[in-house]
Amino acid sequence: MIKIMIVDDQPLVREGLGSLLNLREEINVIGTACDGAEALEKAINLQPDIVLMDIRMPKVNGVEGTRLLREKLPEVKVLMLTTFSDSEFIFDALEEGASGYLLKDMSTDTIVQAILTVFHGGVVLPKDFTSNVLTEMRMKPNLEGSQNEVPAPCSLDELTGRELEVLRHLGQGLNNKEIADTLFITEGTVKNHVSNIIQKLELRDRTQAAIFAVRYGITTF
């Protein structure tokens, strides 16, 4: 069973989502917390596989909570819970090590599938919403006040064609097995490509590689 901890400042969300997820045989909700600091404290003792973390909370919010968890318990994965109004925080959380995010009004089936994806090494980036967020993030004002697209780093040119393909699939949220099946190569070869991508682009991990792919439009190549 996948051990889950739910972090949200609203008791109704914690209890309601916890009750729904506990109905699934593959999931065991082992604890809840009301902010990022309490999440770290409880996670140290409970050792969850995945923490579902609200992005907006008083005291220690989801971005800071993710940083604390990934710093102290790097084996624990974090999946953000968010709303449409939280877009400015989403990529901050992802850059702190979150493995993706979900909108709070998504169905239980969608949340369970996201949990399974993250548990098996994938990244969850809802396409339509992510596209809207990135449209804003990839544009910045120039001196005249108009908008210019932020160019991709030159380090992208160091990737081979196959590495670029793997990076594109990382940005689509695929895990190593799914990438291997799609490209008709072995999982070991995918792992080597992912390691090379992370090294060449000077990134921390595969989640940052996925964010890079989405942010710079690699997923549309």
In tens, the pLDDT along 9-55 reads 999 999 999 999 999 999 999 999 999 999 999 999 999 999 999 99
List the Cα angle 80/105/99 in 5-degree steps: 20
pLDDT of 218 over the 80 cut: yes
Q: Are 62 and 39 in contact (CB under 8 A)?
A: no
In tens, the pLDDT along 154-181 reads 889 999 999 999 999 998 888 899 999 9
151-220 to CATH, choices 3.40.47.10, 1.10.10.10, 3.40.50.150, 1.10.3470.10? 1.10.10.10
What's the pLDDT score for residue 144?
46
pTM: 0.80
In tens, the pLDDT along 86-138 reads 777 887 888 888 998 898 889 999 999 999 999 998 888 876 666 666 655 55
First CA to last CA across the chain, in angstroms?
A: 37
Name the CATH superfamily housing domain 2-132: Response regulator (3.40.50.2300)
Q: Are 44 and 38 in contact (CB under 8 A)?
A: no
> Longest C-alpha distance within the chain, in Å?
57
